[in-house]
């Protein structure tokens, strides 16, 4: 007889960890609910993972680092599956190659759901008596799964875009008319020493600290992100054909890949359209541009006579804003950047590229054990993004949160906020 999922709502509210665990596990299942077994198995590119793998990997994380290591007598649901669903933890041994995750036709989607139910039941039963170290790992696992919820959404989008039928996962949300934003305004900062990074008090990933001093030169940040309409002007002005605005690696990428517009954009006689999880729709000129790479963001900034902000500049400005405000993911349903009806925000809609390399802060030390591989070993060749997106679960980000991707990647909801230097 199939194992039944526990009533997670019944344990929610006992404490913050139990509540977050319940909400997180439920949202992941809801996001995957419309998928067929085939939808959940296919892998569209090496950077993306099948939906079924995301559901299983996040479960493997709880089973491995909490149940296996902290609950006496716990037996693995299937001893063969850690090889399939370990991601990159070298300390956990051999694993299935990332670029071949789409070959895992078995276990089925329903068997993965049963795996989740098994682990949820075991963790729910163990949670009241877990030691503090294990409860900390449950909290980390919830935040880890929230990261995978965003990856799940964006990986499904990339997969569906590869289907010539361009299927929609969800019906389009009702459109609320919002006028075009006015010209970009500028938030000036006179420079000086600021403190950035996580300083304790609440959850943060290891790469967000230690808190430290950073020197800012006088600068200004745009009070909003770049819109689709502004990006269309860049295209019309030959932005993708003019090497003057591009970094050398970026220009080589544009030529090699034939890049001429943001990912998922197409042009026909009626103008530009974009593909989203609600199907193909006309590009909204007032909405923030998204699905652009660091190379594109940097080229646009050059074309606009500006630059990308540093992550310290961004954090110093964003610290005065509420990270819970903005267009972020609250439930399973349509996700898409949209014009802000109540003025600019630093959080939500699109991840904002910075000009800062993803490197360790002064004094950074990875945590002990396998979970110490979570962030530190990726601090090479990538750039920092800030602020969250429309696919980021609300409550997941904060001003010091550091996301990171390689400069050519753009299947995430990534956009652009401009910066410029000002005279002292």
Q: What is the pLDDT of residue 12?
A: 41
- Those residues whose C-beta lies under 8 Å from the C-beta of residue 194, and which sit 6 or more positions away, are 213, 214, 216, 312, 316
Query: Domain 186-421: which CATH class?
Result: alpha beta
Going by the DSSP 8-state scheme, the letter that residue 280 receives in this structure is E
Q: Where are the domains of the chain?
A: 8-162, 186-421
351-357 vs 414-415, strand pairing mode: parallel
Which among 22, 389, 409, 362 is positioned nearest to 207, based on CA atoms? 362
What architecture is domain 8-162?
A: Up-down Bundle (1.20)
**Which three-class secondary structure state does DSSP give residue 318?**
helix
CA distances from 9 to 2, 12, 24, 169 (A): 20, 5, 11, 26
Q: Say how far residue 317 (Cα) sits from the centre of its chain.
A: 21
Q: For the chain, what is the radius of gyration of the CA atoms?
A: 22
Instruction: State how far the Cα of 21 lies from the Cα of 59, in Å rounded to an integer.
Output: 12
Instruction: State how far the Cα of 259 lies from the Cα of 203, in Å rounded to an integer.
Output: 39
- Give me the tens of pLDDT residue by residue for the chain, a chain 424 residues long: 344 444 444 444 447 899 999 999 999 999 999 999 999 999 999 999 999 999 999 999 999 999 999 999 999 999 999 999 999 899 999 999 999 999 999 999 999 999 999 999 999 999 999 999 999 999 999 999 999 999 999 999 999 999 999 999 999 888 777 888 999 999 999 999 999 999 988 999 999 999 999 999 999 999 999 999 999 999 999 999 999 999 999 999 999 999 999 999 999 988 999 999 999 999 999 999 999 999 999 999 999 999 999 999 999 999 999 999 999 999 999 999 998 765 558 999 999 999 999 999 999 998 887 777 678 889 999 999 999 999 999 999 999 999 999 999 999 999 999 999 998 7
Q: Which two tokens stand for residue 87?
A: 């991601």
Query: Number of C-alpha atoms within 13 angstroms, CB side, residue 398?
Result: 14
- 113 with 29: CB under 8 angstroms? yes
- 37 with 109: CB under 8 angstroms? yes
Q: Which two tokens stand for residue 134?
A: 């294990």
Q: What is the pLDDT of residue 13?
A: 42
Which DSSP string do the residues of 69-131 spell out, in sequence order?
HHSTT---S-TTHHHHH--S-GGG-----GGGGGG---S-HHHHHHHHHHHHHHHHHHGGG--
């Amino acid at each position: 007889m199939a194992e039944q999922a526990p009533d997670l709502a019944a344990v929610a509210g006992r404490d913050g960890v139990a509540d977050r665990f319940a909400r997180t596990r439920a949202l992941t299942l809801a996001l995957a609910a419309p998928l067929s077994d085939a939808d959940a198995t296919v892998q569209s590119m090496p950077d993306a993972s099948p939906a079924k793998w995301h559901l299983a990997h996040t479960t493997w994380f709880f089973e491995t680092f909490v149940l296996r290591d902290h609950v006496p007598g716990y037996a693995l649901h299937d001893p063969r599956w850690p090889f399939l669903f370990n991601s990159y933890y070298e300390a956990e041994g051999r694993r299935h190659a990332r670029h071949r995750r789409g070959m895992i036709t078995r276990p089925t989607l329903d068997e993965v759901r049963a795996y989740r139910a098994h682990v949820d039941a075991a963790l729910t039963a163990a949670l009241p008596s877990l030691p503090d170290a294990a409860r900390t790992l449950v909290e980390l696992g919830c935040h880890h799964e929230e990261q995978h919820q965003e990856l799940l959404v964006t990986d499904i989008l990339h997969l569906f875009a590869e289907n010539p039928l361009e299927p929609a996962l969800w019906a389009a949300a009702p459109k609320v008319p919002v006028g075009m934003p006015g010209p970009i305004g500028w938030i000036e900062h006179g420079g000086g020493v600021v403190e950035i990074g996580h300083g304790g008090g609440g959850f943060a990933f290891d790469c967000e600290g230690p808190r430290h001093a950073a020197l800012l030169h006088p600068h200004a940040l745009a009070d909003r992100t770049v819109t689709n309409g502004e990006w269309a002007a860049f295209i019309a002005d030959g932005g993708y054909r003019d090497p003057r605005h591009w970094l050398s690696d970026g220009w080589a990428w544009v030529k090699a890949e034939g890049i001429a517009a943001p990912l998922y954009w197409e042009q026909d006689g009626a103008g530009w359209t974009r593909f989203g999880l609600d199907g193909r729709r006309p590009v909204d000129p007032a909405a923030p541009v998204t699905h652009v790479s660091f190379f594109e963001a940097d080229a646009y900034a050059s074309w606009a006579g500006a630059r990308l902000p540093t992550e310290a500049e961004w954090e110093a400005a964003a610290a005065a804003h509420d990270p819970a405000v903005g267009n972020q993911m609250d439930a399973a349903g349509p996700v898409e950047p949209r014009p802000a009806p109540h003025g600019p925000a630093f959080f939500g809609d699109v991840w904002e590229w910075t000009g800062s390399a993803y490197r360790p802060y002064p004094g950074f030390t990875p945590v002990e054990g396998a979970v110490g591989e979570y962030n530190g070993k990726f601090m090479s060749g990538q750039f920092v993004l800030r602020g969250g997106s429309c696919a980021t679960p609300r409550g997941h980000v904060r001003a010091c949160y550091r996301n990171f991707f390689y400069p050519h990647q753009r299947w995430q909801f990534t956009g652009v906020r401009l910066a410029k230097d000002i005279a002292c």
